[in-house]
């Protein structure tokens, strides 16, 4: 196995969720070889044409990555491996943190926006639960509800997918009436500090204003979990710097890095 490739255990977790081999114009190359080539490129950020020959044709690896990014296969695989982890009791639903990180566009992605922002929700085990990509200048607070609404973990044994964590944390950037109403409506407890300029307006309203009776500092210390999740994602060079010109292909790149984090534990 080449450095950074899928172990046998990781492959056994991933393989059941991949599309069947076969496609237009003949059969695809072995999935494992192509997936390992894709992960190599995500980890290193090298140009597609420079992929080592052990992964076969670079064009085959790229086309499958592009195809799976376009038709939602990447997102379905992410939900599938999350479902497996949840069934095994390996998702920490007690706290989900929301945060974002900006990625500069490389010169190879000429024509793409200069910066792109990744908004994500991460669980207590430092793995991404949901992802959202926006232009770099978009604020964090308006994206909180959209990111949380993308949490959808199927239940293989039956029942509705789980979509709601027990608790949500965010920094001051996520403090807004809209976000607090959204969380109350979904019956999700939250730990979000208030900026100083919001406190005088909210304090007289008490709970009606969405202000908690006491800030839970112990819970807020767990905010480092989502920050560590972002750091783990950014160890992939193709995530830390955007090399993909098309937004949906970059989304597939970030999702591939997230899937790998789920397979490792």
Reading the chain (265 residues) residue by residue, the pLDDT tens digits are 567 789 999 999 999 999 987 655 445 568 999 999 999 999 999 999 999 999 999 999 999 999 999 999 999 999 999 999 999 999 999 999 999 999 988 766 555 557 889 999 999 999 999 999 999 899 999 999 999 999 999 999 999 999 999 999 999 999 999 999 999 999 999 999 988 766 666 656 655 555 554 678 888 999 999 999 999 999 999 999 999 989 999 999 999 999 999 998 7
Distance CA 253, CA 43 (A): 10
CB count in 10 Å sphere of residue 178: 12
Summary count for the chain: helices (H), strands (E): 11, 6
**What is the distance between the terminal CA atoms of the chain, rounded to a whole angstrom?**
19
Instruction: With beta carbons less than 8 A apart as the criterion, state whether 90 and 13 touch.
Output: no
Contacts with 12 (C-beta within 8 Å, 6 or more apart), sequence order: none
Surface-to-core class of residue 221, CB atoms within 10 Å of its CB (0-12 exposed, 13-18 middle, 19+ buried) = exposed
Instruction: With beta carbons less than 8 A apart as the criterion, state whether 233 and 254 touch.
Output: yes
User: E strands along 113-218, which residues?
Assistant: 115-122, 128-135, 167-169, 189-191
The domain locations on the chain are 8-90+243-263, 96-225
CB count in 10 Å sphere of residue 94: 12
pLDDT at position 195 is 82
Residue 252, sorted as left (phi over 0), alpha (psi -120 to 50) or beta, turns out to be alpha
**Beta partners for residue 242, in sequence order:** 105
Instruction: With beta carbons less than 8 A apart as the criterion, state whether 41 and 61 touch.
Output: yes
pLDDT at position 26 is 47
Full 3-state SS string of 149-175: HCCCECCCCCCCCECCCCEEECCHHHC
Distance CA 133, CA 105 (A): 13
* DSSP, res 245: S
Beta strands 96-105 and 167-169 are parallel
Report the predicted TM-score, pTM, of the whole model to 2 decimal places.
Answer: 0.88
């Amino acid at each position: 196995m080449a450095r950074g490739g899928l172990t046998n255990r990781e492959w056994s977790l991933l393989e059941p969720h991949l599309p069947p081999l076969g496609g237009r114009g003949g059969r695809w190359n072995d999935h494992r070889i192509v997936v390992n080539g894709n992960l190599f490129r995500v980890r290193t950020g090298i140009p597609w044409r420079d992929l080592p020959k052990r992964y076969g044709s670079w064009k085959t690896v790229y086309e499958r990555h592009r195809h799976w990014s376009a038709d939602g296969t990447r997102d379905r695989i992410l939900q599938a491996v999350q479902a497996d982890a949840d069934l095994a009791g390996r998702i920490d639903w007690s706290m989900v943190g929301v945060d974002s990180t900006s990625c500069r566009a490389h010169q190879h992605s000429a024509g793409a926006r200069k910066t792109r922002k990744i908004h994500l929700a991460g669980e207590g085990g430092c793995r991404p639960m949901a992802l959202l990509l926006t232009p770099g200048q978009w604020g964090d607070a308006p994206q909180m509800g959209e990111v949380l609404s993308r949490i959808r973990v199927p239940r293989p044994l039956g029942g509705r997918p789980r979509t709601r964590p027990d608790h949500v944390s965010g920094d001051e950037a996520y403090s807004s009436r809209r976000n607090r109403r959204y969380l109350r409506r979904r019956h999700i407890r939250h730990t979000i500090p208030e900026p100083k300029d919001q406190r005088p307006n909210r304090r007289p309203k008490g709970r009606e204003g969405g202000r908690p009776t006491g800030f839970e500092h112990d819970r807020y210390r767990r905010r480092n979990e989502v920050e560590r999740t972002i750091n783990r994602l950014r160890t992939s060079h193709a995530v830390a710097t955007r090399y993909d010109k098309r937004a949906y292909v970059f989304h597939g790149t970030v999702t591939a890095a997230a899937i790998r984090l789920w397979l490792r534990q």
